[in-house]
Amino acid sequence: MKKRCVITGLGIICPVGNDLEESWNSIISGKTGLAKVTTFSTEGCYADLGGEVFCDNLPAPEYDRSARLCIKAAEEALHDADLNSEERSQAGVIVGSCIGGAVSIDEYMTAQKEGAENDSRIPNMAASSIANHTAAYLNLNGVTANIVNACAAGTMSIAYACDLIRSGEGDIFLAGGTDPFSSLAFAGFHALHALSEECCSPFNHSHGITLGEGSGILVVEEYEHAVARGAKIYAEVAGYGVNSDAYHITAPDPSGQGQMDVIRRALGSAEIEPSDISYVNAHGTGTPKNDEAEFLSLHTIFDGTDVSISSTKSMTGHCLGAAGAVEAVFTVKAVSENVLPPTIGYTEEDRLALPEKAGNLDFVVNESRNKEIAYAMSNSFAFGGTNASIIFSKDKHETEDGKKDKVYITGYGKIMSDAEQAVDQVAGVTLDMKDFTERGVKLGIFRKLDKFGQLQLVSGIDAFNSAGIQVTEENERRIGTIIGTSAGPVTEVSNFQKNIVDKGCTAGSAFTFPNTVYNAAGGHFSIFTGTKGYCATVANGTQAGLQSVAYACDVLGKGNEDIMLASGTDEGSDMVSYFYSHSKINGCRILGEGSSTVVLETGSSADKRQAHKYAEVAGYALTHSSGTNAYTETDAMEAAVVKALANAGMEAGQIDRIYAVTNNHEQGKNEIGVLEKHFPGKTIVDPREQTGDCRAASANAIIVDAAKAIDASEIGTALTVSYGCGSYTAIVLK
């Protein structure tokens, strides 16, 4: 049987309340949190409404607002779960976000414009900082990750926490999402003309969204662990699904096929039927295209069942990367208390018109209702085409654990800067239209890509070609991608924000805004290749490029996918160089850029395709140190190496070569010391001497280099290990 994952703690801060009790009471009372925006000026904008959080005691003022909201919700969730100090210290943090540290970017650029910039804000700008800052503030030392798949990120974070529990990476995780109310998001959706002039009215008037902010955090715990400590259990995570539309970067597939597929994936994961679902907390944004596609999906899946449906966004607004987590909290409460939250804003005339659209589906409007809820589903559909669906159950829910297959590297692609070509300590990759036409990319696609997306597309296409993969209707849903990045689309985000700071919220560009979300590169790749499997982007410092490989192996272990592409991508530019030099993140290394991708494939799929196997992924491990107690980062690195070897069933003496991307500062010497202690006399290879520091791309490139060396019979085994944001990933190849 699969390890069971249960919810033992809840924490939330959102436009309808600063804690769980206030928020839930507001939701079941049909109280709105939407009002005129006060955070920044909306002068000249056609819409001026939002769901803002007003809280006088947000913790950690030294961090970005996204992290502060997250910490507030996490503190409540920890208290609710009644974890002791030792249990807390072992907990991991998986946080979803759409816009990351956008508020810090706004604050920095506004201060810069006024001649008072503060470089201490720079480390808060990347989404990579959120989980790390949360872990540091709360002294949590379990595995961390920031899932940055826009509006599906909060839901995906809960699912990933379950995957990590089932793969043995921890017993307790704080999982959810966070996003602040920001001028970047407001200006972007304003430019797309996607905002509603009135409060959003999902499945009703469908004129547009109203943005919100907040954080929802759930304590996800292994069932036996929870029972052993006498924890209260709200609900069980019965199943979940993640996929890609591969249709459009901002619009859903109007056929609803991607949404229907992800709902069916969740049902299949839970091993239940649509008729078992009592309640669906719908994505329900209030835009015409989203509501129309979701109506179609819900009708197709649930017509003829006893399901009840509502959208709590009608009260909270769309909280972006926090949305799925905020809605998961409400869905868990619905299950535990047998209460259906409403969709508010329906007039009597609207209610009379509803049956024409809803048919026999039970839409809960204006007032909450009591209903016995055995299973409840929460859905999230995002920019980049990412879809996520999760199911919570009231009672004990057991599912079978499928037989694990071996995982092989069957292809790779790599495009990296050359350190010898560096100018002023910065090395770049030059790409032109020819680089794309040679790979079958048309001009129309090329023009939609920023540099981050260009790098990812090139390495991904090369990896596909290297592995000899042909995407067909038969396999398109069984091929997925995990992209790791340290800083994401820095240049696009910074330029977009600077324009808003200089000219106001009406100056947002509808053309460039989609590329400000971290998962846009993954979305463009899925659209170009037609791959519709699991699609995620993880931002977690340099090691995210290696963590993506471990993440992809976990996805393959679930059995929905046969092939996963795992990447590391980070761009370089004048803007990136400026931020890195001012924050001294890069130490004395040359700053590079690039993208590296490996194709990971189950043994049965590789054998069926007669694919070339470069190396086998024998074992892997992830660790983290919050840096606030006796468990140091050096300890965390050592633990990752030892655990990866154990999972591979190997001894240190069996490793022939080490490939390592270590810290750029003094800590890096300690990390090398750990490797030399465990592997005396072994060669330690660091690709950054040739490429410059390409961050997540460097971390992924070491696994490409190790697999090539094994394939060439230079070595028989290799250990790859990388650092980033207090986290370590170690992977053993043979």
pLDDT digits (tens, 9 = 90+) for 30-83: 999 999 999 999 999 999 999 999 999 999 999 999 999 999 999 999 999 999
CA distance 422 to 109: 28
pLDDT (tens digit per residue) in 365-383: 999 999 999 999 999 999 8
For range 335-354, the mean pLDDT: 95
Confidence bin at 301 (pLDDT 50/70/90): very high
Quick check: 91 pLDDT over 70? yes
Cα 171 off chain centre by? 20
The answer to whether the beta carbons of residues 709 and 529 sit under 8 Å apart is no
pLDDT (tens digit per residue) in 394-424: 987 777 776 789 999 999 999 999 999 989 8
The secondary structure of 426-442 as a DSSP string is: B------HHHHHTTT--
Write down the H helix ranges in 167-285: 183-191, 223-228, 257-270
Q: Could you say which of 5, 14, 151, 200 is catalytic?
A: 151
User: Token pair of 67, please?
Assistant: 């992290």
Element (H, E) at 462: helix 451-467
User: Token pair of 70, please?
Assistant: 């997250």
Domain 5-393 belongs to what topology?
A: Peroxisomal Thiolase; Chain A, domain 1 (3.40.47)
Task: Decide if 190 is catalytic.
Answer: no
Residue of 56, 85, 12, 48 whose CA lies nearest to 504: 48
Strand residue runs (E) in 200-278: 214-222, 235-244
Confidence bin at 584 (pLDDT 50/70/90): low
CA distance 369 to 719: 56
Residue of 530, 691, 459, 544 whose CA lies nearest to 129: 544
Beta bridge partners of 670: none
For range 537-552, the mean pLDDT: 97
The answer to whether the beta carbons of residues 621 and 647 sit under 8 Å apart is yes
Write down the H helix ranges in 561-687: 574-583, 603-609, 633-648, 666-678
Confidence bin at 235 (pLDDT 50/70/90): very high
Q: 3-state class of 524 per DSSP?
A: helix
Task: Decide if 98 is catalytic.
Answer: no
Averaged pLDDT score across all residues of the chain: 94
Q: Could you say which of 133, 205, 207, 283 is catalytic?
A: 283
CA distance 324 to 151: 7
Task: Decide if 588 is catalytic.
Answer: no
Would you kindly state where each structural domain of the chain is located, as residue ranges?
5-393, 407-486+540-733
Beta bridge partners of 599: 411, 565
Confidence bin at 593 (pLDDT 50/70/90): very high
For range 385-395, the mean pLDDT: 95
User: Token pair of 51, please?
Assistant: 């769901």
CA distance 142 to 173: 8
User: Token pair of 366, please?
Assistant: 């204006």
CA distance 455 to 483: 12
| Start-to-end C-alpha separation, the chain | 29
Q: Does this chain's domain 5-393 share its CATH topology with 407-486+540-733?
A: yes
Residue 532, φ and ψ in degrees, nearest 5: -125, 20
CA distance 519 to 535: 9
For range 299-328, the mean pLDDT: 96
CA distance 35 to 317: 10
Quick check: 629 pLDDT over 80? no
Residue of 672, 695, 670, 694 whose CA lies nearest to 682: 672
Strand 144-147 vs strand 172-179: parallel, antiparallel, or unpaired? unpaired
The secondary structure of 393-415 as a DSSP string is: ESS----PPPPPPPEEEEEEEEE
* All residues at 6 or more sequence positions from 245 whose CB lies less than 8 Å from its CB, including other chains: 252, 253, 257, 258, 259, 385, 386, 387, 526, 532
pTM of the model: 0.97
Helix and strand tally (H, E) in the chain? Answer: 25, 25
Look-up: residue for tokens 């250990």? 719
Decide yes or no: CATH 3.30.70.360 for domain 407-486+540-733: no
pLDDT (tens digit per residue) in 192-232: 999 999 999 999 998 999 999 999 999 999 999 999 999 99
Q: Could you say which of 190, 207, 318, 397 is catalytic?
A: 318
Burial class from Cβ neighbours inside 10 Å (0-12, 13-18, 19+) for residue 370 reads exposed
Residue of 165, 368, 166 whose CA lies nearest to 279: 368
Quick check: 120 pLDDT over 80? yes
Q: How many CB atoms lie within 10 A of CB 612?
A: 14
Between the CA of residue 323 and those of 150, 235, 465, what are the distances in Å?
9, 19, 37
Between the CA of residue 703 and those of 403, 539, 549, 695, what are the distances in Å?
26, 18, 9, 14
Q: Residue 60 region, left (φ>0) first, then alpha (ψ -120 to 50), else beta?
A: left
